[in-house]
Amino acid sequence: MATRRKKPEELRSHRWYGAEDLRAFGHRSRTFQMGYGREEFAGKPVIAILNTWSDINPCHTHFRQRVEEIKRGIWQAGGFPLEMPAISLSEPFQKPTTMLYRNLLAMEAEELLRSYPIDGCVLLGGCDKTLPALVMGATSMDLPTIVVPAGPMLRGNWQGKVLGSGSDSWKYWAELRAGTIDERDWQEIEEGIARSPGTCMTMGTASTMAAAVEALGLALPGASSIPAADSNHGRMAAACGRRIVELVWEDLRPAKLLTPSAFDNALITVLALSGSTNSIVHLVAMAGRAGVDLPLARFDALARRVPVLADVRPAGRFLMEDFYYAGGLRALLSELSDLLDLECQTVAGETLGQGIAGARIHNPKVIRPRAQALAGGGGLAVLGGNLAPNGAVIKPLSAEPGLLQHRGPAVVFADYNDMAARIDDPELPVDADSVLVLQSAGPQGGPGMPEWGMLPIPQKLLRQGVRDMVRISDARMSGTSYGTCVLHVAPESFVGGPLALVRDGDEIELDVAARKLWLHVEEAELAHRRAAWQPPPAHYGRGYGALFARHITQADKGCDFDFLHAGAAVPEPEIH
Ligand code: FES
Protein backbone atom coordinates (compact mmCIF):
# COMPACT_ATOMS: atom_id res chain seq x y z
CA MET A 1 0.00 0.00 0.00
CA ALA A 2 1.40 3.39 -0.98
CA THR A 3 2.31 5.57 2.00
CA ARG A 4 0.23 8.70 2.27
CA ARG A 5 2.49 11.72 2.06
CA LYS A 6 1.91 14.80 4.10
CA LYS A 7 1.02 18.07 2.45
CA PRO A 8 3.18 21.13 3.26
CA GLU A 9 0.31 22.76 5.16
CA GLU A 10 0.12 19.67 7.40
CA LEU A 11 3.69 20.13 8.61
CA ARG A 12 3.98 20.94 12.29
CA SER A 13 6.22 23.89 11.37
CA HIS A 14 3.38 25.35 9.27
CA ARG A 15 1.86 26.62 12.53
CA TRP A 16 4.93 28.83 12.96
CA TYR A 17 5.68 29.70 9.35
CA GLY A 18 2.49 29.34 7.34
CA ALA A 19 -0.08 31.36 9.27
CA GLU A 20 -1.09 34.86 8.22
CA ASP A 21 -0.79 36.59 11.55
CA LEU A 22 1.62 38.79 13.44
CA ARG A 23 3.43 35.92 15.16
CA ALA A 24 4.12 34.15 11.86
CA PHE A 25 5.40 37.47 10.49
CA GLY A 26 7.87 37.43 13.39
CA HIS A 27 8.95 33.83 12.73
CA ARG A 28 9.52 34.50 9.03
CA SER A 29 11.23 37.85 9.47
CA ARG A 30 13.59 36.38 12.09
CA THR A 31 14.43 33.51 9.73
CA PHE A 32 15.26 36.09 7.05
CA GLN A 33 17.42 37.75 9.72
CA MET A 34 19.52 34.57 9.81
CA GLY A 35 20.21 34.97 6.10
CA TYR A 36 17.79 32.40 4.69
CA GLY A 37 15.58 33.18 1.71
CA ARG A 38 11.87 32.33 1.58
CA GLU A 39 12.58 29.60 -0.97
CA GLU A 40 14.92 27.88 1.52
CA PHE A 41 12.38 27.28 4.26
CA ALA A 42 8.81 28.02 3.16
CA GLY A 43 6.76 24.83 2.96
CA LYS A 44 9.75 22.62 3.73
CA PRO A 45 10.17 20.12 6.57
CA VAL A 46 12.17 21.75 9.35
CA ILE A 47 14.70 19.26 10.63
CA ALA A 48 16.41 19.67 14.00
CA ILE A 49 19.86 18.16 14.30
CA LEU A 50 20.31 17.61 18.03
CA ASN A 51 24.08 17.81 18.33
CA THR A 52 25.82 16.66 21.49
CA TRP A 53 29.18 18.06 20.38
CA SER A 54 31.32 19.75 23.02
CA ASP A 55 34.95 20.76 23.39
CA ILE A 56 35.12 18.41 26.34
CA ASN A 57 33.70 15.35 24.61
CA PRO A 58 36.53 13.49 22.83
CA CYS A 59 34.14 10.87 21.44
CA HIS A 60 32.22 13.56 19.53
CA THR A 61 35.07 15.62 18.08
CA HIS A 62 33.96 14.80 14.52
CA PHE A 63 30.41 16.03 15.06
CA ARG A 64 31.07 19.52 13.71
CA GLN A 65 31.90 17.96 10.37
CA ARG A 66 29.12 15.38 10.58
CA VAL A 67 26.59 18.15 11.14
CA GLU A 68 27.65 19.70 7.83
CA GLU A 69 27.20 16.33 6.13
CA ILE A 70 23.77 15.83 7.65
CA LYS A 71 22.77 19.35 6.59
CA ARG A 72 24.01 18.61 3.06
CA GLY A 73 21.66 15.62 2.91
CA ILE A 74 18.74 17.62 4.30
CA TRP A 75 19.20 20.41 1.76
CA GLN A 76 19.52 17.86 -1.05
CA ALA A 77 16.20 16.29 -0.10
CA GLY A 78 14.39 19.60 0.19
CA GLY A 79 14.37 20.09 3.95
CA PHE A 80 15.42 23.00 6.12
CA PRO A 81 18.12 21.98 8.65
CA LEU A 82 18.54 23.63 12.04
CA GLU A 83 21.40 22.53 14.27
CA MET A 84 20.52 22.60 17.97
CA PRO A 85 23.19 21.99 20.58
CA ALA A 86 22.20 19.75 23.49
CA ILE A 87 24.13 18.95 26.64
CA SER A 88 27.10 16.70 25.86
CA LEU A 89 27.47 13.90 28.40
CA SER A 90 31.18 13.23 28.24
CA GLU A 91 31.86 9.91 29.91
CA PRO A 92 35.53 10.46 30.74
CA PHE A 93 35.08 13.86 32.39
CA GLN A 94 31.66 14.38 33.90
CA LYS A 95 31.32 13.85 37.65
CA PRO A 96 29.94 12.19 39.64
CA THR A 97 28.69 10.30 36.59
CA THR A 98 27.03 11.04 33.26
CA MET A 99 24.16 8.83 34.41
CA LEU A 100 23.11 11.61 36.76
CA TYR A 101 22.42 13.70 33.66
CA ARG A 102 20.97 11.16 31.20
CA ASN A 103 17.43 12.20 32.07
CA LEU A 104 18.36 15.88 31.88
CA LEU A 105 19.49 15.40 28.26
CA ALA A 106 16.36 13.38 27.58
CA MET A 107 14.22 16.22 28.92
CA GLU A 108 16.23 18.78 26.96
CA ALA A 109 15.83 16.82 23.72
CA GLU A 110 12.09 16.43 24.21
CA GLU A 111 11.53 20.08 25.06
CA LEU A 112 13.75 21.40 22.24
CA LEU A 113 11.65 19.44 19.79
CA ARG A 114 8.39 20.51 21.39
CA SER A 115 9.05 24.20 21.80
CA TYR A 116 10.46 24.96 18.33
CA PRO A 117 8.94 24.62 14.84
CA ILE A 118 10.38 21.15 14.26
CA ASP A 119 8.96 18.50 11.94
CA GLY A 120 11.58 15.79 12.36
CA CYS A 121 14.96 15.27 13.96
CA VAL A 122 18.38 13.77 13.53
CA LEU A 123 19.95 12.62 16.78
CA LEU A 124 23.72 12.95 16.82
CA GLY A 125 25.16 11.13 19.79
CA GLY A 126 27.22 8.17 20.83
CA CYS A 127 29.18 8.56 24.04
CA ASP A 128 27.40 6.17 26.42
CA LYS A 129 24.35 8.01 27.81
CA THR A 130 23.83 10.38 24.89
CA LEU A 131 22.09 7.93 22.56
CA PRO A 132 19.63 6.50 25.11
CA ALA A 133 18.92 10.01 26.38
CA LEU A 134 18.27 11.44 22.91
CA VAL A 135 16.11 8.48 21.94
CA MET A 136 14.13 8.72 25.19
CA GLY A 137 13.39 12.39 24.56
CA ALA A 138 12.57 11.92 20.88
CA THR A 139 10.33 8.94 21.69
CA SER A 140 8.34 11.00 24.15
CA MET A 141 7.95 13.81 21.60
CA ASP A 142 7.28 11.29 18.81
CA LEU A 143 8.33 13.24 15.74
CA PRO A 144 9.99 11.41 12.83
CA THR A 145 13.49 10.61 14.08
CA ILE A 146 16.69 9.13 12.73
CA VAL A 147 19.86 8.40 14.69
CA VAL A 148 23.40 9.07 13.48
CA PRO A 149 25.56 7.01 15.86
CA ALA A 150 28.99 8.52 16.55
CA GLY A 151 30.80 5.35 15.51
CA PRO A 152 33.69 3.69 17.34
CA MET A 153 37.23 5.03 17.37
CA LEU A 154 40.11 3.16 15.72
CA ARG A 155 42.01 0.42 17.56
CA GLY A 156 44.47 1.62 20.18
CA ASN A 157 48.15 0.80 19.85
CA TRP A 158 51.06 0.34 22.26
CA GLN A 159 54.36 -1.01 21.02
CA GLY A 160 52.54 -2.87 18.27
CA LYS A 161 50.01 -4.36 20.70
CA VAL A 162 46.33 -3.62 20.15
CA LEU A 163 44.76 -1.61 22.98
CA GLY A 164 41.04 -1.56 23.76
CA SER A 165 39.23 1.30 25.52
CA GLY A 166 38.56 0.71 29.16
CA SER A 167 39.43 -2.99 29.21
CA ASP A 168 43.14 -2.37 28.73
CA SER A 169 43.09 0.60 31.11
CA TRP A 170 41.89 -1.72 33.88
CA LYS A 171 44.21 -4.51 32.80
CA TYR A 172 47.40 -2.44 32.68
CA TRP A 173 46.43 -0.45 35.80
CA ALA A 174 46.33 -3.78 37.65
CA GLU A 175 49.72 -4.67 36.11
CA LEU A 176 51.15 -1.31 37.17
CA ARG A 177 49.85 -1.87 40.71
CA ALA A 178 51.25 -5.38 40.65
CA GLY A 179 54.64 -3.97 39.48
CA THR A 180 54.82 -5.87 36.17
CA ILE A 181 54.95 -2.68 34.03
CA ASP A 182 56.57 0.66 34.90
CA GLU A 183 55.52 4.33 34.73
CA ARG A 184 57.06 4.79 31.31
CA ASP A 185 55.02 1.91 29.89
CA TRP A 186 51.94 3.39 31.53
CA GLN A 187 52.52 6.79 29.89
CA GLU A 188 52.93 5.19 26.46
CA ILE A 189 49.67 3.30 26.97
CA GLU A 190 48.01 6.59 27.97
CA GLU A 191 49.13 8.15 24.67
CA GLY A 192 48.15 5.22 22.46
CA ILE A 193 44.83 3.98 23.75
CA ALA A 194 42.57 6.66 22.22
CA ARG A 195 43.90 7.81 18.87
CA SER A 196 40.94 8.96 16.79
CA PRO A 197 37.49 10.53 17.16
CA GLY A 198 34.71 8.16 18.09
CA THR A 199 33.35 6.17 20.96
CA CYS A 200 35.10 3.42 22.94
CA MET A 201 35.98 0.69 20.45
CA THR A 202 35.37 -2.22 22.77
CA MET A 203 31.84 -3.56 23.22
CA GLY A 204 31.21 -0.89 25.82
CA THR A 205 27.97 0.91 26.43
CA ALA A 206 28.37 3.18 23.40
CA SER A 207 28.86 0.34 20.89
CA THR A 208 26.16 -1.73 22.57
CA MET A 209 23.58 1.06 22.57
CA ALA A 210 24.37 2.09 19.00
CA ALA A 211 23.74 -1.49 17.89
CA ALA A 212 20.57 -1.68 19.99
CA VAL A 213 19.28 1.54 18.42
CA GLU A 214 19.93 0.16 14.94
CA ALA A 215 18.17 -3.10 15.83
CA LEU A 216 15.22 -1.06 17.12
CA GLY A 217 14.93 0.38 13.63
CA LEU A 218 15.99 3.93 14.45
CA ALA A 219 19.24 4.00 12.41
CA LEU A 220 19.99 3.08 8.81
CA PRO A 221 21.07 -0.55 8.30
CA GLY A 222 24.76 -0.92 9.12
CA ALA A 223 25.12 2.63 10.46
CA SER A 224 26.14 1.71 14.00
CA SER A 225 29.23 -0.30 13.04
CA ILE A 226 31.04 2.30 10.90
CA PRO A 227 34.18 3.65 12.61
CA ALA A 228 33.97 7.40 13.22
CA ALA A 229 37.11 8.07 11.18
CA ASP A 230 35.96 6.09 8.12
CA SER A 231 34.72 8.15 5.18
CA ASN A 232 31.69 5.85 5.03
CA HIS A 233 30.64 7.51 8.27
CA GLY A 234 30.33 10.91 6.59
CA ARG A 235 28.38 9.38 3.72
CA MET A 236 26.05 7.66 6.19
CA ALA A 237 25.47 11.03 7.90
CA ALA A 238 24.50 12.65 4.58
CA ALA A 239 22.20 9.71 3.79
CA CYS A 240 20.49 10.22 7.17
CA GLY A 241 19.99 13.87 6.26
CA ARG A 242 18.26 12.87 3.04
CA ARG A 243 16.20 10.15 4.68
CA ILE A 244 14.83 12.24 7.57
CA VAL A 245 13.13 14.58 5.10
CA GLU A 246 11.33 11.62 3.55
CA LEU A 247 10.45 10.31 7.01
CA VAL A 248 8.65 13.57 7.72
CA TRP A 249 6.63 13.40 4.48
CA GLU A 250 5.83 9.74 5.28
CA ASP A 251 5.08 10.64 8.92
CA LEU A 252 6.98 7.59 10.14
CA ARG A 253 7.36 8.18 13.87
CA PRO A 254 9.08 6.29 16.71
CA ALA A 255 5.68 5.14 18.02
CA LYS A 256 5.24 3.11 14.84
CA LEU A 257 8.69 1.53 15.12
CA LEU A 258 9.18 0.94 18.84
CA THR A 259 6.97 -2.10 19.31
CA PRO A 260 7.50 -4.94 21.81
CA SER A 261 8.99 -6.99 18.94
CA ALA A 262 11.45 -4.21 18.12
CA PHE A 263 12.61 -4.20 21.75
CA ASP A 264 13.01 -7.99 21.62
CA ASN A 265 15.17 -7.49 18.52
CA ALA A 266 17.28 -4.98 20.44
CA LEU A 267 17.65 -7.34 23.42
CA ILE A 268 18.65 -10.24 21.17
CA THR A 269 21.22 -8.00 19.53
CA VAL A 270 22.69 -6.90 22.86
CA LEU A 271 22.89 -10.51 24.03
CA ALA A 272 24.54 -11.76 20.85
CA LEU A 273 27.11 -9.00 21.23
CA SER A 274 27.62 -9.83 24.93
CA GLY A 275 26.94 -6.13 25.29
CA SER A 276 27.25 -3.78 28.21
CA THR A 277 25.11 -4.40 31.29
CA ASN A 278 24.27 -0.69 31.18
CA SER A 279 22.12 -1.39 28.15
CA ILE A 280 19.61 -3.13 30.43
CA VAL A 281 18.93 0.06 32.36
CA HIS A 282 18.76 2.13 29.18
CA LEU A 283 16.52 -0.24 27.22
CA VAL A 284 14.08 -0.50 30.12
CA ALA A 285 13.93 3.30 30.26
CA MET A 286 13.57 3.64 26.48
CA ALA A 287 10.79 1.03 26.45
CA GLY A 288 9.08 2.93 29.27
CA ARG A 289 8.97 6.02 27.05
CA ALA A 290 7.42 3.96 24.25
CA GLY A 291 4.81 2.45 26.57
CA VAL A 292 6.39 -1.02 26.26
CA ASP A 293 6.76 -3.10 29.42
CA LEU A 294 10.24 -4.62 29.58
CA PRO A 295 10.77 -6.58 32.79
CA LEU A 296 14.22 -7.92 33.70
CA ALA A 297 12.78 -11.42 33.33
CA ARG A 298 12.55 -10.81 29.58
CA PHE A 299 16.32 -10.22 29.40
CA ASP A 300 17.00 -13.38 31.34
CA ALA A 301 14.62 -15.50 29.28
CA LEU A 302 16.21 -14.39 26.02
CA ALA A 303 19.73 -14.64 27.46
CA ARG A 304 19.26 -18.36 28.01
CA ARG A 305 18.82 -19.01 24.29
CA VAL A 306 20.58 -16.23 22.37
CA PRO A 307 24.08 -17.31 21.34
CA VAL A 308 26.99 -14.93 21.74
CA LEU A 309 28.43 -14.37 18.28
CA ALA A 310 30.57 -11.24 18.58
CA ASP A 311 34.13 -12.07 19.62
CA VAL A 312 34.70 -8.50 20.78
CA ARG A 313 36.32 -7.32 24.00
CA PRO A 314 35.76 -7.43 26.88
CA ALA A 315 33.96 -10.77 26.45
CA GLY A 316 35.99 -11.67 23.35
CA ARG A 317 39.24 -10.78 21.60
CA PHE A 318 38.63 -8.20 18.87
CA LEU A 319 37.54 -4.58 18.61
CA MET A 320 34.80 -2.66 16.82
CA GLU A 321 37.02 -1.82 13.86
CA ASP A 322 37.46 -5.58 13.31
CA PHE A 323 33.71 -6.04 13.77
CA TYR A 324 33.05 -3.54 10.97
CA TYR A 325 35.49 -5.20 8.58
CA ALA A 326 33.95 -8.58 9.45
CA GLY A 327 30.58 -7.42 8.14
CA GLY A 328 29.28 -5.29 11.00
CA LEU A 329 25.89 -5.50 12.65
CA ARG A 330 24.04 -6.47 9.47
CA ALA A 331 26.15 -9.62 9.22
CA LEU A 332 25.60 -10.45 12.89
CA LEU A 333 21.84 -9.92 12.59
CA SER A 334 21.61 -12.05 9.46
CA GLU A 335 23.18 -14.89 11.45
CA LEU A 336 20.41 -14.46 14.04
CA SER A 337 17.55 -14.05 11.59
CA ASP A 338 15.54 -17.02 12.91
CA LEU A 339 15.45 -15.38 16.36
CA LEU A 340 14.52 -11.88 15.19
CA ASP A 341 11.21 -10.43 14.10
CA LEU A 342 12.26 -9.50 10.57
CA GLU A 343 8.94 -7.80 9.83
CA CYS A 344 9.69 -4.85 12.14
CA GLN A 345 9.81 -1.57 10.24
CA THR A 346 12.88 0.67 10.27
CA VAL A 347 13.66 4.27 9.42
CA ALA A 348 15.02 3.03 6.10
CA GLY A 349 11.40 2.60 5.00
CA GLU A 350 11.77 -1.15 4.81
CA THR A 351 11.66 -4.09 7.20
CA LEU A 352 14.57 -5.22 9.35
CA GLY A 353 14.74 -8.33 7.17
CA GLN A 354 15.08 -6.25 4.00
CA GLY A 355 17.77 -4.15 5.68
CA ILE A 356 19.98 -7.15 6.39
CA ALA A 357 19.28 -9.06 3.18
CA GLY A 358 22.50 -10.16 1.50
CA ALA A 359 24.72 -9.37 4.49
CA ARG A 360 27.62 -11.78 4.89
CA ILE A 361 30.24 -12.52 7.51
CA HIS A 362 33.67 -11.71 6.10
CA ASN A 363 35.69 -12.86 9.10
CA PRO A 364 34.21 -15.75 11.09
CA LYS A 365 36.78 -15.27 13.85
CA VAL A 366 35.23 -11.91 14.75
CA ILE A 367 31.56 -12.58 13.99
CA ARG A 368 31.07 -16.23 14.73
CA PRO A 369 28.71 -18.37 12.68
CA ARG A 370 26.09 -20.03 14.87
CA ALA A 371 27.91 -23.37 14.81
CA GLN A 372 30.98 -21.73 16.35
CA ALA A 373 29.24 -19.41 18.81
CA LEU A 374 31.35 -18.04 21.64
CA ALA A 375 28.65 -19.34 23.97
CA GLY A 376 25.22 -20.85 23.46
CA GLY A 377 23.73 -18.23 25.78
CA GLY A 378 24.55 -16.34 28.91
CA GLY A 379 25.45 -12.92 27.49
CA LEU A 380 23.77 -11.59 30.62
CA ALA A 381 22.07 -13.14 33.63
CA VAL A 382 19.48 -11.66 35.95
CA LEU A 383 19.81 -12.77 39.58
CA GLY A 384 17.28 -12.81 42.38
CA GLY A 385 17.22 -13.80 46.02
CA ASN A 386 17.02 -12.22 49.44
CA LEU A 387 19.93 -9.88 48.67
CA ALA A 388 18.31 -8.53 45.48
CA PRO A 389 14.52 -8.95 45.71
CA ASN A 390 13.99 -6.77 42.61
CA GLY A 391 16.91 -8.19 40.67
CA ALA A 392 20.60 -7.81 40.00
CA VAL A 393 22.63 -8.51 36.87
CA ILE A 394 25.92 -10.13 35.96
CA LYS A 395 27.76 -10.68 32.72
CA PRO A 396 28.88 -14.29 33.07
CA LEU A 397 31.15 -14.32 30.05
CA SER A 398 33.28 -11.54 31.54
CA ALA A 399 33.67 -13.43 34.83
CA GLU A 400 36.12 -16.06 36.03
CA PRO A 401 34.13 -19.28 35.41
CA GLY A 402 35.15 -20.77 38.75
CA LEU A 403 33.52 -17.86 40.60
CA LEU A 404 30.09 -18.18 39.02
CA GLN A 405 29.19 -20.50 41.88
CA HIS A 406 30.79 -19.20 45.03
CA ARG A 407 30.16 -18.73 48.72
CA GLY A 408 32.33 -16.51 50.85
CA PRO A 409 32.46 -13.98 53.67
CA ALA A 410 31.57 -10.36 52.94
CA VAL A 411 34.02 -7.48 53.19
CA VAL A 412 31.75 -4.45 53.26
CA PHE A 413 32.49 -0.88 52.20
CA ALA A 414 29.90 1.68 53.27
CA ASP A 415 30.50 3.88 50.23
CA TYR A 416 33.05 4.67 47.54
CA ASN A 417 35.24 6.81 49.80
CA ASP A 418 35.36 4.07 52.41
CA MET A 419 36.42 1.63 49.71
CA ALA A 420 39.07 3.95 48.28
CA ALA A 421 40.51 4.53 51.75
CA ARG A 422 40.72 0.87 52.81
CA ILE A 423 40.91 -1.37 49.73
CA ASP A 424 44.73 -1.40 49.66
CA ASP A 425 45.19 -1.45 53.43
CA PRO A 426 47.55 -4.37 54.14
CA GLU A 427 45.51 -5.03 57.31
CA LEU A 428 42.20 -5.42 55.41
CA PRO A 429 40.88 -8.86 56.40
CA VAL A 430 40.39 -10.14 52.86
CA ASP A 431 41.46 -13.15 50.85
CA ALA A 432 40.64 -14.51 47.40
CA ASP A 433 37.45 -16.16 48.69
CA SER A 434 36.05 -12.97 50.19
CA VAL A 435 33.06 -11.27 48.60
CA LEU A 436 33.61 -7.52 48.20
CA VAL A 437 30.43 -5.50 48.85
CA LEU A 438 30.02 -1.83 47.99
CA GLN A 439 27.02 0.04 49.42
CA SER A 440 25.62 3.49 48.58
CA ALA A 441 26.46 3.32 44.88
CA GLY A 442 22.97 3.06 43.41
CA PRO A 443 20.71 5.59 41.66
CA GLN A 444 20.12 7.57 44.87
CA GLY A 445 23.23 6.56 46.76
CA GLY A 446 25.97 7.26 44.19
CA PRO A 447 24.20 9.48 43.34
CA GLY A 448 23.49 8.56 39.73
CA MET A 449 24.51 4.90 39.99
CA PRO A 450 28.15 5.44 38.98
CA GLU A 451 30.26 2.82 37.24
CA TRP A 452 31.93 1.64 40.43
CA GLY A 453 30.76 -1.95 40.16
CA MET A 454 34.14 -3.36 39.13
CA LEU A 455 35.61 -2.86 42.60
CA PRO A 456 39.41 -2.96 42.47
CA ILE A 457 41.12 -6.14 43.65
CA PRO A 458 43.01 -5.34 46.89
CA GLN A 459 46.66 -4.71 46.13
CA LYS A 460 47.92 -7.44 48.45
CA LEU A 461 45.82 -9.98 46.53
CA LEU A 462 46.99 -8.62 43.18
CA ARG A 463 50.53 -9.30 44.29
CA GLN A 464 49.49 -12.88 45.06
CA GLY A 465 48.25 -13.19 41.48
CA VAL A 466 44.51 -12.78 42.18
CA ARG A 467 42.82 -11.09 39.20
CA ASP A 468 39.12 -11.69 39.90
CA MET A 469 36.84 -11.93 42.92
CA VAL A 470 33.10 -11.86 43.53
CA ARG A 471 32.05 -8.22 43.86
CA ILE A 472 28.53 -7.03 44.63
CA SER A 473 27.08 -3.53 44.48
CA ASP A 474 24.09 -1.44 43.53
CA ALA A 475 26.34 0.41 41.09
CA ARG A 476 26.68 -0.02 37.34
CA MET A 477 29.87 -1.11 35.61
CA SER A 478 31.45 0.25 32.47
CA GLY A 479 30.68 -1.92 29.47
CA THR A 480 34.42 -2.18 28.98
CA SER A 481 34.91 -3.67 32.45
CA TYR A 482 35.06 -7.32 33.36
CA GLY A 483 35.14 -9.63 36.33
CA THR A 484 32.66 -11.45 38.55
CA CYS A 485 30.74 -8.29 39.33
CA VAL A 486 27.13 -8.47 40.47
CA LEU A 487 25.57 -5.12 39.58
CA HIS A 488 22.34 -3.08 39.76
CA VAL A 489 21.22 -4.70 43.02
CA ALA A 490 17.65 -3.51 43.56
CA PRO A 491 16.36 -2.01 45.69
CA GLU A 492 19.58 -0.16 46.39
CA SER A 493 21.17 0.14 49.84
CA PHE A 494 20.62 3.92 50.09
CA VAL A 495 16.85 3.41 50.26
CA GLY A 496 17.14 0.51 52.71
CA GLY A 497 17.43 -2.45 50.31
CA PRO A 498 18.89 -5.65 51.81
CA LEU A 499 22.37 -4.69 50.56
CA ALA A 500 22.33 -2.04 53.31
CA LEU A 501 22.06 -4.80 55.93
CA VAL A 502 25.19 -6.76 54.99
CA ARG A 503 27.98 -6.76 57.58
CA ASP A 504 31.59 -7.91 57.46
CA GLY A 505 31.85 -11.67 57.68
CA ASP A 506 28.27 -12.45 56.54
CA GLU A 507 28.22 -15.42 54.18
CA ILE A 508 27.05 -14.55 50.67
CA GLU A 509 26.22 -17.13 48.02
CA LEU A 510 26.34 -16.47 44.30
CA ASP A 511 25.00 -19.17 42.01
CA VAL A 512 24.63 -17.83 38.49
CA ALA A 513 23.25 -21.06 37.02
CA ALA A 514 20.48 -20.97 39.64
CA ARG A 515 20.17 -17.16 39.22
CA LYS A 516 20.63 -16.86 42.98
CA LEU A 517 22.15 -14.16 45.16
CA TRP A 518 21.68 -15.03 48.80
CA LEU A 519 22.68 -13.50 52.12
CA HIS A 520 23.03 -16.34 54.62
CA VAL A 521 21.87 -14.48 57.71
CA GLU A 522 18.90 -15.52 59.83
CA GLU A 523 15.69 -13.62 59.06
CA ALA A 524 15.35 -12.57 62.72
CA GLU A 525 18.80 -10.99 62.63
CA LEU A 526 17.99 -9.26 59.34
CA ALA A 527 14.78 -7.89 60.84
CA HIS A 528 16.78 -6.57 63.78
CA ARG A 529 19.25 -4.84 61.45
CA ARG A 530 16.42 -3.47 59.32
CA ALA A 531 14.75 -1.92 62.34
CA ALA A 532 18.03 -0.26 63.36
CA TRP A 533 18.81 1.02 59.84
CA GLN A 534 18.84 4.82 59.40
CA PRO A 535 18.56 6.45 55.97
CA PRO A 536 21.74 8.32 55.03
CA PRO A 537 21.53 12.12 54.72
CA ALA A 538 20.30 13.46 51.36
CA HIS A 539 22.99 14.44 48.87
CA TYR A 540 21.23 17.53 47.58
CA GLY A 541 19.15 20.25 49.20
CA ARG A 542 18.37 22.10 46.00
CA GLY A 543 18.82 22.18 42.23
CA TYR A 544 18.79 19.43 39.65
CA GLY A 545 20.22 16.92 42.15
CA ALA A 546 17.23 17.43 44.43
CA LEU A 547 14.84 16.90 41.52
CA PHE A 548 16.79 13.77 40.58
CA ALA A 549 16.58 12.36 44.11
CA ARG A 550 12.84 12.98 44.31
CA HIS A 551 11.96 11.29 41.02
CA ILE A 552 14.60 8.73 40.03
CA THR A 553 13.34 5.14 39.77
CA GLN A 554 15.36 2.07 40.71
CA ALA A 555 17.61 0.13 38.31
CA ASP A 556 15.01 -2.50 37.45
CA LYS A 557 12.70 0.31 36.30
CA GLY A 558 15.35 1.96 34.12
CA CYS A 559 16.31 4.91 36.37
CA ASP A 560 14.03 7.24 34.44
CA PHE A 561 12.17 9.98 36.30
CA ASP A 562 8.78 8.72 37.37
CA PHE A 563 7.02 11.63 35.64
CA LEU A 564 8.67 10.93 32.27
CA HIS A 565 7.25 7.46 31.61
CA ALA A 566 4.77 7.17 28.78
CA GLY A 567 1.45 8.58 29.86
CA ALA A 568 -0.91 11.40 29.10
CA ALA A 569 0.11 13.43 26.04
CA VAL A 570 1.83 16.75 26.69
CA PRO A 571 -0.05 19.52 24.87
CA GLU A 572 1.53 21.27 21.93
CA PRO A 573 2.72 24.76 22.88
CA GLU A 574 0.52 27.72 22.12
CA ILE A 575 2.40 29.85 19.63
CA HIS A 576 0.88 33.26 20.21
FE1 FES B 1 32.83 8.15 25.20
FE2 FES B 1 33.48 5.58 26.04
S3 FES B 1 34.19 7.51 26.77
S4 FES B 1 32.11 6.24 24.53
CB of 545 closer than 6 A to ligand 1?
Answer: no
pTM as predicted: 0.96
When pLDDT is cut at 50, 70 and 90, the band that residue 575 belongs to is low
Task: Give pLDDT, residue 290.
Answer: 97
Q: What is the pLDDT of residues 332-374, one digit of tens each?
A: 999 999 999 999 999 999 999 999 999 999 999 999 999 999 9
Strands 516-520 and 507-511: antiparallel
How many percent of the chain have pLDDT more than 70?
99
Phi, psi dihedrals of residue 112, rounded to the nearest 5°: -60, -45
The per-residue b/e assignment along 442-479, b for 16 or more CB within 10 angstroms, e otherwise, is bbbbbbbbbbbbbbbbbbbbbeeebebbbbbbbbbbbb
pLDDT of residue 576: 56
Name the closest-CA residue to atom 2, ligand 1. Answer: 200
Q: Which atom of ligand 1 is nearest to the CA of 92?
A: 3
CA neighbor of 385 nearest in space, from 529, 536, 507: 507
Q: What is the CA(45)–ligand 1 centre distance, in A?
A: 33
**Are the beta carbons of 137 and 182 closer than 8 angstroms?**
no
Where in the chain are the domains? 44-154+196-370, 156-192, 382-532
> For the segment 94-124, what is each residue's pLDDT rounded down to a tens digit?
999 999 999 999 999 999 999 999 999 999 9
pLDDT at 482: 82
Report the candidate in 102, 95, 89, 167 with the shortest Cα–Cα distance to residue 132. 102
pLDDT-based confidence at residue 304 (cuts at 50, 70, 90): very high
In this structure, which topology does domain 382-532 adopt according to CATH?
Glucose Oxidase; domain 1 (3.50.30)
For residue 49, give the nearest of 31, 30, 35, 68 by alpha carbon: 68
* Single-letter amino acid code for the residue at 226: I
> Does ligand 1 have an atom closer than 6 angstroms to the CB of 349?
no
CB 47 within 8 A of CB 244: yes
User: Which pLDDT does position 1 carry in this prediction?
Assistant: 52
Which residue CA neighbors atom 1 of ligand 1 most closely? 127
Q: What is the pLDDT of residue 102?
A: 98
Distance 128 CA to ligand 1 centre (A): 6
Give the span between the Cα atoms of 220 and 257, in whole angstroms. Answer: 13
**Distance between CA 464 and CA 509 in Å, rounded?**
24
Q: DSSP secondary structure string, 149-191?
A: E--BPPPEEETTEEE-TTHHHHHHHHHHHHTSS-HHHHHHHHH
Handedness of CA 339, 136, 147, 126 (dihedral sign): negative
The pLDDT assigned to 243 comes to: 98
pLDDT tier for residue 132 given thresholds of 50, 70 and 90: very high
pLDDT at 292: 97
Closest atom of ligand 1 to CA, residue 478: 2
Kindly give, in sequence order, each residue whose CB lies less than 8 Å from that of residue 196, ignoring residues fewer than 6 positions away.
153, 154, 227, 228, 229
pLDDT band for 436, please (50, 70, 90 cuts). very high
- Own/partner contacts of 178-182, CB < 8 Å, gap of 24 or more, are 178/462, 178/463, 179/463
State which amino acid sits at residue 267. L
CA 426 to centroid of chain Cα atoms: 37
Q: Is 560 in the pocket of ligand 1 (CB under 6 A)?
A: no
User: Beta-strand (E) ranges in 195-247?
Assistant: none
295 upstream amide cis, omega within 30 of 0:
no
Give the distance (Å) from ligand 1 centre to CA of residue 213: 17
Extended beta strands in 150-292, E state: 156-158, 161-163
Specify burial of residue 21 (Cβ count, 10 A radius: 0-12, 13-18, 19+). exposed
pLDDT value of residue 39: 95
